[in-house]
A and B are shown apart, each in its own frame.
Chain A
Amino acid sequence: MTDTAAASRKSGTSGAQAGVEARRADVRNRWLLASPALTVIFFAALGPLLIMLVYSFLQKGSYGGVVWSFSLDGWFNVFLKRDIFDDTLGFADGHLSIFWRSLKLSFGTTVLALLIGFPTAYYIATRPANLRPVFLFLITIPFWTNLLIRTFAIMEVIRNEGVVNTLLMSLGVISSPIQMLYTDFAIMLGMVYVYLPLMVLPLYASMERLDFRLVEAGYDLYATRLGVLRRIIVPMVKPGIIAGSILVFVPSLGAYVTPRVLGGGKNMMLGNLIELQFGQGRNWPLGAALSITLLVVVMVALLFYVRNASKSGVKSHG
């Protein structure tokens, strides 16, 4: 690139023809240099999305797959359903309730992860500098094991004959086991467990940069502990709170393994619903349309993040 740039500089006065030639070479080189990134973006991100988008507008094949003819049935079925007996239209309340429960569970997971993650990150950030990497290392240990195995481990803890129920019953606290497995509680517990590090790490990154002299200044100016938390710490680590919440909320919304294993068959979330369409349901267009809908929900959440992050005190963390 330096060669052509030098060439174009040299030829600048001699002839317009050579100048145009050099500029073309420049443009060509630029695209060549960007091509690895563009390839990744196309094949890993845009390509699959385009396929999903196209599939959502096709007819379903009788044994799965798609028939290449335009149809809005996929999108139609996301929100509406046709009664099989009298052919009347109604809301696809099954889908809507799964959407709603997914949002609810993901929101609950995010709030729980924040409530647990915030004090954890604060604790780590206030340790001596040489101990902090040790705590961060401990936070990442669960990542070393396969997600499915960890989820089955939780199952072992909360099932009726599991660790918790056995312990409580042998202590005489309860006489019959508490049903925890295959409930919304189990799904949230599993998701909080799996996604907690994604909350702790960005929170820690914000808190580590927090100037604790500001906390002292807050106490000095008559703010109580709660006041300092609310008026000084939270506003200053807001970027971390938002980033952590997004990082937990987004994968929770699309979670598949955790609700499948801990929720049993009946407590479905969006991920399971989508999987069902591509599997037993043999309705690929509907699955694709549901996926795109999920994507839009996530995009809205991200837009909310971007808007808030630019408004809040990000500048203070320069």
Chain B
Amino acid sequence: MHGNLDAIPAISAQQVTKVFGAGPGSVTALDKVSIDIQRNEFFTLLGPSGCGKTTLLRLIAGFDHPTSGRIDLEGSDISYLPPFKRPVNTVFQSYALFPHMSVAENIGFGLKMLGKPAAEIDAEVEVMLKLVKMEAMRDRSTAQISGGQQQRVALARALAPKPKVLLLDEPLSALDLKLRKEMQIELKRLQHETGITFVFVTHDQEEALTMSDRIAVMSAGKVLQVGTPRDIYDRPSRRFVADFIGDTNFMDAELVSAGKGSDSKASLKLASGKQIAASLPDGDMSAGTVTAVVRPEHAWLTKPKASSVLTGNLETIVYFGTDTHYHVSLATGGMFTVRMQNARGQAGEFSEGDEVGIDIDADAVQVLRD
């Protein structure tokens, strides 16, 4: 596919570093970040606050410029272009709607600044109002509409100039839970209908998993892992990624053999002495002590038996409605959480204080890189 125009990524960040301030008080917000974001992709930058995700978004928008490295938009360098010369629009966390303009004037602002004729602007504004279902609010002031409606206007305003890339800076964080769920679906719909590349910034891992085509998990100015939601959740390659997304059991283990070929599994020796097959992260790993992770729902409790991978004492049971969490104090030290779905009307067969065995799904053990 090389040489094909479609293979050129929408956004390509290469070794991008951003340092704020100078001297000993300077802060490195981004540290040699390289990411390719494909066209028509719903791409999410996920990480805790201060991880650099918003800084990267601001560099793509042009509000800040990289200290070193470069950012390409469809193959051409935009690192130092001012924001008004980039075909990229932003939906701000605070919406940043212009309070002295009506809903329609807000939506038409970008087109007006691009020098489009009035008739064309009017027509496009109508299309956008329809797209975000705000036709009735056309002439309202932005102070007269609700938070969810402001969100829709902000989206329409950013989409109206038909940008090549739409940047969304935690746009749902100010909405209540129900509205947030609605807008998540709405955003996916808009992305499908417009075919525009979305770059979405969030600290909400659930939001990232449900909405994204691909996710980049960031921490302390670095991109730790890029992959599909399933990749990120099932095959985390680093401790931070495994810990940040979902609940995880960490286990120290001995890497006995790495296995050869892409299909074959590595072999781990756990503290209990049992051996278990595991997936390795991409790249070479040498034998030695490693950390492996298992998601709580990929394990289940049994009566203690000789073949149990792990054994321990069931300390607490927490009932969650759809499932129950069992916290087990392992015989070899440490805690392990097992999550099992509840069947209707069926009382659990385990009670606190029981000695239990833990079995783990085949293919559920993932070795971390660090």
Bound complex: CA A223 to CA B92 (Å): 16
B: residues with CB less than 8 A from A are 61-63, 82-84, 88-90, 92, 94, 96-100, 109-110, 113-114, 143, 157-158, 161
Contact among B83, B97, B100, B109 with A216 in the assembled complex (CB-CB below 8 Å): B83
A221: which B residues are within 8 A, CB to CB? 84, 89, 109-110, 113, 157-158, 161
Q: Are A220 and B89 in contact (CB under 8 A)?
A: yes
Decide: A216 near B96, CB < 8 A? Known: A221-B89, A222-B161, A223-B84: yes
- B113 to A, closest residue via Cβ: A222
At the interface, yes or no: A12 with Cβ under 8 Å from chain B? no
**A156-194 vs B: 1/0 string, CB under 8 Å?**
000000000000000000000000000000000000000
**A213-244 vs B: 1/0 string, CB under 8 Å?**
11011111111100100011001100000000
Q: Are A217 and B100 in contact (CB under 8 A)?
A: no
Decide: A219 near B114, CB < 8 A? Known: A236-B99, A315-B143, A316-B100: no
Q: Are A214 and B82 in contact (CB under 8 A)?
A: no
Bound complex: CA A153 to CA B62 (Å): 48
Bound complex: CA A222 to CA B115 (Å): 10
Contact among A217, A223, A236 with B90 in the assembled complex (CB-CB below 8 Å): A217
Q: Are B113 and A213 in contact (CB under 8 A)?
A: no
Which residue, B62, B84, B143, has most C-beta atoms of chain A within 10 A?
B84
Q: Are B83 and A219 in contact (CB under 8 A)?
A: yes
- A313 to B, closest residue via Cβ: B100
**A249-278 vs B: 1/0 string, CB under 8 Å?**
000000000000000000000000000000
- A216 to B, closest residue via Cβ: B63
Q: Are A232 and B90 in contact (CB under 8 A)?
A: no
- A214 to B, closest residue via Cβ: B96
A123: min CB distance to chain B, Å = 20
Decide: A217 near B92, CB < 8 A? Known: A222-B110, A223-B113, A227-B113: yes
B84: which A residues are within 8 A, CB to CB? 219-224, 227
Bound complex: CA A313 to CA B99 (Å): 8
At the interface, yes or no: A211 with Cβ under 8 Å from chain B? yes
A: residues with CB less than 8 A from B are 211, 213-214, 216-224, 227, 231-232, 235-236, 312-313, 315-316
Contact among B83, B94, B97 with A220 in the assembled complex (CB-CB below 8 Å): B83
A212: min CB distance to chain B, Å = 10
- A316 to B, closest residue via Cβ: B99
A220: which B residues are within 8 A, CB to CB? 61-63, 83-84, 88-90, 158
Give 10 pairs: A residue, B residue, CB < 8 Å, sorted on A: A214-B98, A216-B63, A217-B98, A219-B62, A220-B158, A221-B113, A221-B158, A223-B109, A236-B100, A315-B99
B114: which A residues are within 8 A, CB to CB? 222
Bound complex: CA A219 to CA B88 (Å): 11
Q: Are B96 and A232 in contact (CB under 8 A)?
A: no
A216: which B residues are within 8 A, CB to CB? 63, 83, 90, 92, 96
Task: Pick the 4 closest A-B CB pairs, nearest first.
Answer: A316-B99, A221-B110, A313-B100, A217-B96
A315: which B residues are within 8 A, CB to CB? 99, 143
Bound complex: CA A277 to CA B259 (Å): 108
- A235 to B, closest residue via Cβ: B100
B328: min CB distance to chain A, Å = 49
B88: which A residues are within 8 A, CB to CB? 220
Bound complex: CA A250 to CA B88 (Å): 47
A206: min CB distance to chain B, Å = 13
A219: which B residues are within 8 A, CB to CB? 62-63, 82-84
A13: min CB distance to chain B, Å = 47
Bound complex: CA A217 to CA B143 (Å): 17
A236: min CB distance to chain B, Å = 6
- B114 to A, closest residue via Cβ: A222
B100: which A residues are within 8 A, CB to CB? 235-236, 312-313, 316
- B157 to A, closest residue via Cβ: A221
Which residue, A220, A223, A232, A236, has most C-beta atoms of chain B within 10 A?
A220
Bound complex: CA A312 to CA B141 (Å): 13
A313: which B residues are within 8 A, CB to CB? 99-100
Bound complex: CA A313 to CA B96 (Å): 15
B111: min CB distance to chain A, Å = 9
A211: which B residues are within 8 A, CB to CB? 94, 96
- A234 to B, closest residue via Cβ: B100
- B115 to A, closest residue via Cβ: A222
B161: min CB distance to chain A, Å = 7
B157: which A residues are within 8 A, CB to CB? 221
Q: Are B143 and A316 in contact (CB under 8 A)?
A: yes
B90: which A residues are within 8 A, CB to CB? 216-217, 220
Bound complex: CA A221 to CA B110 (Å): 4
B98: which A residues are within 8 A, CB to CB? 214, 217-218, 232
Bound complex: CA A216 to CA B62 (Å): 10
